[in-house]
Amino acid sequence: MGNYRVILEVEVDANTPMGAAINVQDRLQDPNADWQYYVQHSKSQRIYSVDLGQQEEDAVQEIDNYIPLIN
């Protein structure tokens, strides 16, 4: 078993930071929402894109040049 960091980045339109957070929270609770995650293996520092809406063999792709939305 390894240690991983999971990042979910979402861009939303809102009038305030609180409104943006509420919008994302609502979307996270939607069982029909399709999310893509970025997962980093703590030891190797490799980063993967994981799309839970895809079949398992297509869901995980290694990312060579991950650029976070917030620096």
Instruction: Map out the domains of the chain as residue ranges.
Output: 4-63
From first to last of its 71 residues, the chain has per-residue pLDDT tens of 899 999 888 889 999 999 999 999 999 999 888 888 999 999 999 999 999 888 888 899 999 998 888 87
Output the pLDDT for position 29.
93
Output the pLDDT for position 10.
85
Q: Tell me the CA distances in angstroms from 39 to 16, 18, 45, one per residue in order.
A: 28, 26, 10
The sign of the CA dihedral 12, 23, 66, 70 is: positive
Output the pLDDT for position 70.
82
